[in-house]
Amino acid sequence: MLFNSIEFLVFLPVCFIIYWFVLKNFLKAQNAFILIASYFFYGWWDYRFLALIAFSTVVDYFIGLTIDESNSKSRKKALLVISLVVNLGLLGFFKYYNFFVDSWVDAFESLGVEMHRTTLSIILPVGISFYTFQTLSYTIDVYREKLKPSRNFINFAAYVAFFPQLVAGPIERATNLLPQFSKKRVFNEEQGISGINLILWGGLFQKVVIADSCAPYVNSIFDNYESMNSLSLILGAVYFAFQIYCDFAGYSNIAIGTARLLGFDLMRNFNYPYFSRDMAEFWRRWHISLSTWFRDYVYIPLGGSRGSKWMQLRNVFIIFMVSGLWHGANWTFLFWGGFLHALFFVPILLLNKNRSNLDQVAQERLLPSLKELLQITVTFLLACVAWVFFRAHSITEAFKYLNKIVADFNFKIEYLNIERYSVEMLLILLIFILIEWFHRNQEHPFTGRWKWFKIAGTLIMLLTLGVYSKHQDFIYFQF
């Protein structure tokens, strides 16, 4: 079920009413209801893959308990390894099997060795990367004794399958989300209102107005990049930057908002990443739940920023490579993360500047300084260059795309095959950037004295600029 679908528009109020009016004083029943609703939500897409979530849940539930009860360190370790093998094995099979087979065969064929290609028709279960990481965080935290294992199977199963964030995050840590299932929940009006605001802003405005409006321009430019001029190609990269940001941040905001309606607090996943002054700041603001997951479960265990510069660089490249691979089974993602973003990080790390921009840009000022503006622009352009690799079908195609920007050097406004001028989206994006800039210290813009005007303005834009006829799936579903 998609958040921006009619089905969800019915599903959510029904859940809300049953949850708060029928099951109000019954915590166990509320949790069981969340579990049923979550399985229903996921099964709406493909019920066959429910077995996969259920299997993952059962395995990690019992492994968590056994780790806790075990006195032997080696036994605990063995159990953790089993959990890792099972979870990553499932993820690897569904997500990476064909990729590795193809890459293996291609590598041998390039050496002149003929090999039989045995790829399978595998459907990637929606959200597998997200809930796998969520369950992994549970077993690792239990192993590290940071978390007591759940002794309530319903609570644990509801935590793994919690429908607001099941298919595209935020990837919640067990330490944050799981205890919330054990506490009695009382409806908090402020929390509910902020949830609604997040759904309106993130889900509807960011997704339906910005991301879905950018989509046809991006598709048209990237699909015909060979015949496009420099201006269109630059715009294509910029549009994609906003498409993927608003698509994913929009999803996350609906997830957080929906969870709040049910009395849960999820972590923030995006914090105005395109106002970052360097790449380190960008990664502290982009897909925060994944970045911090990798930081805590990969980067720090590898040594983090301790050790020699060489070790630090190695760790950075490893974490970005894993992050790239997490996004998809394609060399373009590996290049995007494992090479480009890691490369952008190198000078920051060498100059010890990776924690120099921890505050919000232009704090207590209306406008950024010239230096800040320059830093923001450079960071955004670097991100756009990397996004070209993320969006392209192959690394070669991405290089050709970037090469054409420089080689063509033609900045005439083009009429695209979608019967739109290439620059038409810029005005909407400018409005969006201004809204974000003036509310960069808040979760969403619906605050202050003019709150209702802002809501009305958003609703007007939603209605008149939103895309309804060419429904777009959330990009991060494929990951």
Partner 1 sequence: MSRFSKYILWMLLILGIIVLAADQIYDYIFLNTSPRDKVQLAIKQKQGHVDYLFLGNSRVENYIDCSIIEKTTGKTCENFGMSGTSYQDSYVLLNLLKENGLTYSHLFIQLDATVKNETMTRSFKASLVPFIDSNIQVKDVKLKLSWSEKNIPFYKYAKYDYLYGMRACFAQLYKNKSDDVNLGSFRNMK
Contact code string over 191-210 relative to partner 1, x by CB under 8 A? -xx--x---x----------
Shortest distance (Å) from residue 172 CB to partner 1 = 24
In this structure, what token pair is assigned to residue 397?
């195609």
Distance of alpha carbon 136 from alpha carbon 250, whole angstroms? 25
Please select the residue that binds partner 1; options are 20, 62, 97, 437, rule is CB under 8 A. 20
Rank residues 395 and 465 by Cβ distance to partner 1 and give the closer one.
465
Shortest distance (Å) from residue 464 CB to partner 1 = 4
- Return the bridge partners of 415, or none: 421
Please tell me whether residue 467 binds partner 1 under the rule CB under 8 A: yes
Q: Which stretch binds partner 1 (CB under 8 A): 263-271, 299-307, 363-371, 451-459?
A: 451-459
Rank residues 50 and 465 by Cβ distance to partner 1 and give the closer one.
465
Question: In the annotation, is 393 catalytic?
Answer: no
Q: Which stretch binds partner 1 (CB under 8 A): 62-70, 126-134, 187-195, 315-323?
A: 187-195
Q: Which residues does 272 contact at the CB level (< 8 Å), separation at least 6? A: 285, 436, 440
Catalytic member of 287, 327, 341, 444: 327
Please select the residue that binds partner 1; options are 100, 430, 463, 478, rule is CB under 8 A. 463
Interface with partner 1 (CB under 8 A), residue total: 22
Alpha carbon separation from 407 to 227, 388, 399 (Å, rounded) = 13, 16, 12
Shortest distance (Å) from residue 456 CB to partner 1 = 5
Shortest distance (Å) from residue 417 CB to partner 1 = 13
Binding to partner 1 (CB under 8 A): which residues in 417-436?
420, 424
CA-CA-CA-CA dihedral for 122, 125, 128, 130, to nearest 10:
130
Please tell me whether residue 25 binds partner 1 under the rule CB under 8 A: no
Distance of alpha carbon 83 from alpha carbon 140, whole angstroms? 9
The alpha helices in 224-308, defined as continuous H runs, are 230-261, 279-285, 288-294, 300-302
Surface-to-core class of residue 21, CB atoms within 10 Å of its CB (0-12 exposed, 13-18 middle, 19+ buried): exposed
Distance of alpha carbon 204 from alpha carbon 206, whole angstroms? 6
CA-CA-CA-CA dihedral for 118, 121, 127, 129, to nearest 10:
0
Please tell me whether residue 452 binds partner 1 under the rule CB under 8 A: yes
Q: Would you say 214 and 471 are in contact if contact means Cβ atoms under 8 Å apart?
A: no
Residue type, 110: S
Residue 264, classed as helix, strand or coil, is: coil
Please tell me whether residue 148 binds partner 1 under the rule CB under 8 A: no
Shortest distance (Å) from residue 205 CB to partner 1 = 13
Shortest distance (Å) from residue 208 CB to partner 1 = 10
Distance of alpha carbon 451 from alpha carbon 466, whole angstroms? 21
Please tell me whether residue 471 binds partner 1 under the rule CB under 8 A: no
Q: Which stretch binds partner 1 (CB under 8 A): 118-126, 280-288, 313-321, 450-458?
A: 450-458
Residues marked active site are found at 327
Give the footprint of partner 1 on this chain (CB under 8 A).
20, 187, 189, 192-193, 196, 200, 420, 424, 452, 455-456, 459-460, 463-470
